[in-house]
Amino acid sequence: MIIASGAYLTIGAGWGNGPHWLLYLPMVVASGAVALRRRAPLASLGIGTSAMLADLALGGSIATLLIYTQVLYDACVFGPPRLWRRALEVSIAVVAATAALGVAESGSVRGLALGIPAVLVLVLPILTGLSVRQYRDQAALERSRAEQTARVAELDRRQAVAAERTRMARELHDMVANHLSVVAIHATAALSVRNLTTTQVEDSLRVIRENSVQGLAEMRQMIDVLRGPEAEPGDDPVTPGLAEVERLVSGARAAGLAVDLTTTGEPRELPVNVDLAGYRIVQESLTNALKHGTGTASVKVHYDTHEVRLTVHNPVASPGPLDHLGAGAGLIGMRERAALLRGRLDAGPETEAHWRVHAALPVDAA
């Protein structure tokens, strides 16, 4: 179409007066340079510049100059940063030289107008390409930030889900293990001991029933928490705390564990998470005393200014009555509860025949 319209005609006097068809060659080469703009922008610029110089030597054609502006634009958009910087520097130098040449030839300031075509052919395409490149890079940066934000949000979501699953597993273990352990102990005793009196059987069944009811009640409380807004009004679950340790000890005594409870310091209202963690640690310790001990335990609760200290001692049997039911999850749960509150927990044999659990929970951990 360019050839048919005559746009290939020369715009100046070249070094030769050859036929116009010679101008087709630089134009075709420049068009080929445009085809390389994405794969090899540096080579595209080099080939296009050579074609333009050859075209100018033959007299110069509008078509080749227009194609060369596309070559410069593509080099700035798709090439490395150093490419457009060098191209802009060279273009400014050419414009300055052209303007100086115009002033020298005309002998007046009007000769500066000779630099205008150079600005249109060289500088303007580069600045346009630079503007598009900056917009594209900014858009890519925004996409990268959005993707990074999405990845961080997904990671946070997964961590939150994992933490919630861990918390639920810990609550379920502490909530159920105590009551089921008592039920298992008394059921085992009722089945293994012969010639039990009616009173003994009734006592075992009473303990089994009480612990079953308490376990179901605590399970219902947790289900209400999980149900959230769908829970019925008036069914708000009560979170257990250290104020109910006496009831916890009474339940252990009813299950057959002789527990000595000592409370020192000034009992006071604690943050909910500290209160619950202390309650669960004592509960799990008493459960372990039932499962692995000899039937006695001591619990000490000390309220200090900055922390609450819990200590549970119990002798251990070898083997314990319910050693086969232990999986080690209780000790892990107690350590996790203390760690989440930036507290300390030590659990292990104090002597060869005694087990000790000691926890220190900061009261400002909330």
Q: Classify residue 198: in a domain, yes or no.
A: no
Q: From 140, 159, 181, give the residue that closes a domain.
A: 140
Q: Classify residue 8: in a domain, yes or no.
A: yes
* Confidence label for 175 from pLDDT (cuts 50, 70 and 90): low
pLDDT in tens, 73-119: 888 888 888 888 888 888 888 888 888 888 888 777 787 888 888 88
Residue 29 is predicted with a pLDDT of: 87
298 C-beta neighbours (distance < 10 Å), count: 15
Residues 211-230, mean pLDDT to the nearest whole number: 70
Q: Classify residue 315: in a domain, yes or no.
A: yes
pTM strictly above 0.75: no
Q: Classify residue 199: in a domain, yes or no.
A: no
SS (H, E, C) the chain: CHHHHCCCCECCCCCCCCCHHHHHHHHHHHHHHHHCCCCCHHHHHHHHHHHHHHHHHCCCEHHHHHHHHHHHHHHHHHCCHHHHHHHHHHHHHHHHHHHHHHHHHHCCHHHHHHHHHHHHHHHHHHHHHHHHHHHHHHHHHHHHHHHHHHHHHHHHHHHHHHHHHHHHHHHHHHHHHHHHHHHHHHHHHHHHCCCCCHHHHHHHHHHHHHHHHHHHHHHHHHHHHHHHHHCCCCCCCCCCCHHHHHHHHHHHHHCCCEEEEEEEECCCCCCHHHHHHHHHHHHHHHHHHHHHECCEEEEEEEECCCEEEEEEEEEECCCCCCHHHCCCHHHHHHHHHHHHCCCEEEEEEEECCEEEEEEEEECCCC
pLDDT in tens, 238-286: 568 898 899 888 888 887 889 999 999 888 888 888 988 899 899 889 8
* Confidence label for 14 from pLDDT (cuts 50, 70 and 90): very low
Least confident residue range of 171-175, 262-266, 336-340: 171-175
Residue 268 is predicted with a pLDDT of: 87
* Confidence label for 234 from pLDDT (cuts 50, 70 and 90): very low
* Confidence label for 13 from pLDDT (cuts 50, 70 and 90): very low
**Residue percentage of the chain with pLDDT more than 70:** 84
Name the residue range of residue 302's domain.
Answer: 241-366
* Confidence label for 123 from pLDDT (cuts 50, 70 and 90): confident
Question: Which strands, in side-by-side order, build the sheet including 296-303?
Answer: 258-265, 296-303, 307-315, 354-362, 344-351
* Confidence label for 210 from pLDDT (cuts 50, 70 and 90): confident
Residue 303 is predicted with a pLDDT of: 93
Residue 42 vs residue 191, higher pLDDT:
42
Q: From 104, 123, 140, give the residue that closes a domain.
A: 140
Residue 324 is encoded by which pair of tokens?
């086969």
Residue 48 vs residue 229, higher pLDDT:
48
One domain for residues 12 and 125: yes
Q: Classify residue 361: in a domain, yes or no.
A: yes
Residue 169 vs residue 6, higher pLDDT:
169
Residue 58 is predicted with a pLDDT of: 82
Residue 105 is predicted with a pLDDT of: 82
Residue 65 is predicted with a pLDDT of: 86
Q: Classify residue 111: in a domain, yes or no.
A: yes
Total of domains in the chain? 2
One domain for residues 250 and 120: no
Question: How many Å apart are CA 259 and CA 257, to the nearest integer?
Answer: 6
Q: Classify residue 208: in a domain, yes or no.
A: no
Which CATH number does the domain housing residue 290 bear?
Answer: 3.30.565.10
One domain for residues 134 and 256: no
Residues 175-203, mean pLDDT to the nearest whole number: 74
Question: How many Å apart are CA 158 and CA 87, to the nearest integer?
Answer: 49
Q: Classify residue 190: in a domain, yes or no.
A: no
Q: From 81, 111, 140, give the residue that closes a domain.
A: 140
Residue 231 vs residue 364, higher pLDDT:
364
